[in-house]
Amino acid sequence: MGLVGAGAATTAAVWQALNAQGKLPKIPPIELPTSLGATNPMKVVRDFEYGTVTKENGRTVREFRLTAGTSEIQLNTAVSYNIWDLNGRIPGPTLRAKAGERIRVLFFNQGGHSHSLHFHGVHTAEMDGVRPIANNKATIYEFDAEPYGVHLYHCHIEPVTRHISKGLYGMFIIDPPKARPPADEIVLIMSGYDPNEDNRNEFYAFNGLPHYLMKNPIPIYQNQLIRAYVLNIIEFDPAVTFHLHANFFDVYRTGMTMTPSYKSDVITMGVAERHILEFSFRYPGKYMFHPHQDWIAENGCMGQFEVIPEDVKGKKA
């Protein structure tokens, strides 16, 4: 694989190192495809949006711009699907901030229908994102970044299930006051698709596209700490599991703790539930991850890690 896409990973690593005053994690270079339209699962893996930072009255303000639009994606060779996207992608950008900062989100709706953005976290009623924003209109959401943890944002216009399942969602990470140790940080978002609108999913995916991360494994290094931010946003199914092959992970529930709650190789997650899972692989090779509901995995929600031996780090993955 080539070096395309290494910049985003490097930015994330520097962000960690500066905050933790630790050494940079080892992150393999990756090659990002350019022909997948609104879906690019490998880019989502290590792509964090840090916004624009300014100072106002001595306070750090981190500003993000999100635009709702429309796209068509290809679920397989025979099935295309019209979605609502955010900034031209599904899932939407993974927003990242530090605890205590002021967050300002400029939301532009060009999706053809009324939409909104509801952020999980603590904020005033006026900023709760349940008021419809008409097509070709805009609004500003502003609130403090609290509490630290792994959160999400999504459209909250009825029917909410339909608006989320058609693509209007993303992850929102608030880093704790005392930074976590440096790690190779990755994002895994489980979602479902109901193209025939029978309120049952026919396709499932990690990071927006069925089967992609199974056919294109995520490269990681042997014995490198991996910090996975995992979100279940599968509508129509009440809960799914996340299972990692040949390994166990430490669970930091909702990312709101600095010490693990327990260790497991499978965790059950309801809709909108999210956690930090930390692990490292002792042996090189390819290892699957997937829900343990086999019909969900077999219909697209499967992926693999390709563990690269330590003695080849620094070379092309």
- Could you read off the pLDDT of 237-291 as tens digits, one per residue? 999 999 999 999 999 999 999 999 999 999 999 999 999 999 999 999 999 999 9
Question: How far apart are alpha carbons 246 and 279 in whole angstroms?
Answer: 11
Q: What is the pLDDT of residue 3?
A: 40
Give the residue-averaged pLDDT of 45-70: 97
Q: What is the pLDDT of residue 34?
A: 79
Q: Among 70-79, 113-122, 304-313, which is the least confidently predicted range? A: 304-313
Q: What is the pLDDT of residue 6?
A: 53
- 21 pLDDT more than 90: no
pLDDT-based confidence at 64, cuts 50/70/90?
very high
Q: Among 1-15, 188-202, 229-243, 296-310, which is the least confidently predicted range? A: 1-15
Q: What is the CA radius of gyration of the chain?
A: 19
pLDDT-based confidence at 8, cuts 50/70/90?
low
- 20 pLDDT more than 80: no
Question: How far apart are alpha carbons 153 and 297 in whole angstroms?
Answer: 25
Q: What is the pLDDT of residue 1?
A: 32
Q: What is the pLDDT of residue 33?
A: 84
Give the residue-averaged pLDDT of 164-187: 97
Q: What is the pLDDT of residue 31?
A: 85
Q: Among 2-16, 65-79, 214-228, which is the least confidently predicted range? A: 2-16
Question: How far apart are alpha carbons 285 and 78 in whole angstroms?
Answer: 32
